[in-house]
Amino acid sequence: MSQQEMKIAIVGLGGMGDWHRQLIESIDGLTLAGIYDIKEERQEYAREKKVHVYNSFEELLADESVDFCLIATPNDLHKPLAIAAMKAGKHVVSEKPVTLSSADLQEMIDASKETGKLFTVHQNRRWDEDFLTMKKIYKENLLGDVFRIESRVHGSRGIPGDWRQEKEHGGGMVLDWGVHLLDQILLMMEGIKLKKVYSTVTHITNQLVDDGFTTSLLFENGTEVIVEVGTSNFVNLPRWYMLGANGTAIIEDWNLKGEIVSAKGQNEKDVVPVITAAGLTKTMAPRRDDTIAKTELPIVKSDIRDFYRNVMKAIRGEEEIIVKLPEVARVMRLMETVFESAEKKQVIDFE
């Protein structure tokens, strides 16, 4: 294997597979050996893009020039394809969610150990700049002691009209988006045990799989986190909302519109009450401008290509893999707990 060049093959050239194809083209030292897809129209699309098309999955695995594979098929196919690839001598990157259950994931981990092949998951939302920015605010204690975090993604078109609507393929929003948002929170709260989980799921547009969920997470340090995904929201709530003893941070949307508002100086005196239609209140009266400080968000920039750069270095033994299997397994267990809580309508102990 060249220290400079590596080759990857893509299994499944759907929307995400094609996104990977385009990303790979921009990464120095990484070449796309080819793709395999069961659909003839996707094979033809690949040929139009001047990409080699394997006639079968077995032909792809037999290509000794391929260093590692990306599995970008429907979720229920990740396990058998990943295990077969590792047994054929390939390192493997799986799209998320890695599979449908902790038991399935353990089989994949066992295959990685048995074959000595690297196995990791494309948890790409770890590179989202909104997440990295809020993580920085939390880790650097810019709001004082944080007691509540809210993380949401909202849409209004239901679930996409493909296999994501089907339970047998691992559809639904807990597996599609929960896998990202829960992973982000567990990384942000690194080293802190998650004690309790309470969840509800929705079936507004789809009775077969969840089209949204709301989860309340209580961590050992007392921090409460709300994670929510909705697909019938015609007015969106903020992407991030973080509350600390000395201030609040908000990110409105994917464009990183937001700010930090912090207390400044001493407590206010002579608070002017707010007069409402049915009374007045000092408690909920807004602060005067001279008692608060508004600052811009400390935006953290990122480059998603670093995911593949890390994978290549980890294969060479030059760097530790970023997306670690124990982290992936913890997220999988948490998603299972979300479903359990929603089904039982109970708070579930987690760790």
- What are residue 279's DSSP bridge partners? 276
- Over residues 84-137, the pLDDT tens digits come to 999 999 999 999 999 999 999 999 999 999 999 999 999 999 999 999 999 999
Binned at pLDDT 50, 70 and 90, residue 31 comes out as very high
Structure tokens at 57: 């999955």
> Under 8 Å CB-to-CB from 209, ≥6 apart: which residues?
159, 164, 165, 166, 167, 171, 172, 173
Annotated domain spans of the chain: 6-122, 126-303+333-349
Residue 1 confidence (pLDDT) above 60: no
Phi, psi of 242 (to 5 degrees): -125, 130
Binned at pLDDT 50, 70 and 90, residue 337 comes out as very high
Please name the CATH architecture into which domain 126-303+333-349 falls: 2-Layer Sandwich (3.30)
CA torsion 9→13→18→19, rounded to 10°? -80
Q: 3.40.50.720, 3.90.470.20, 3.90.1150.10, 3.20.20.70: which CATH number matches 6-122?
A: 3.40.50.720
Question: Residue 321: which H helix or E strand, with range?
Answer: none
pTM confidence score? 0.94
